[in-house]
Structure 1
């Protein structure tokens, strides 16, 4: 187990929590179109 002093000396970081990878994958899985979310389901508006 690393000590706090070891962590401060190395300052190793992992991926940033705000990295967009998960969001881009979610959008790509839905064709980047998802309509409206009504009553717990995705609904495509008429004429769209």
Structure 2
């Protein structure tokens, strides 16, 4: 079963709950992100000089 949960707050990709598992993450700011944007956000935070 696949149910649309919402859109990634950064890139707009559709995020689904598939068989009871959410294929994204909820942030502390009450937003949802896809794994690609989460990874990109982590890289930005680790390299503040760029």
TM-score bracket, normalised by the shorter chain, equals 0.3 to 0.5
Query: By percentage of residues, which structure has more strand?
Result: 2
The structure with more radius of gyration: 1
TM-score by length of 2: 0.33
Q: Choose between structure 1 and 2: higher helix proportion.
A: 1
Q: Which has the higher relative contact order, 1 or 2, with Cα contacts under 8 A spaced 6 or more apart?
A: 2
TM-score (norm: length of structure 1): 0.33
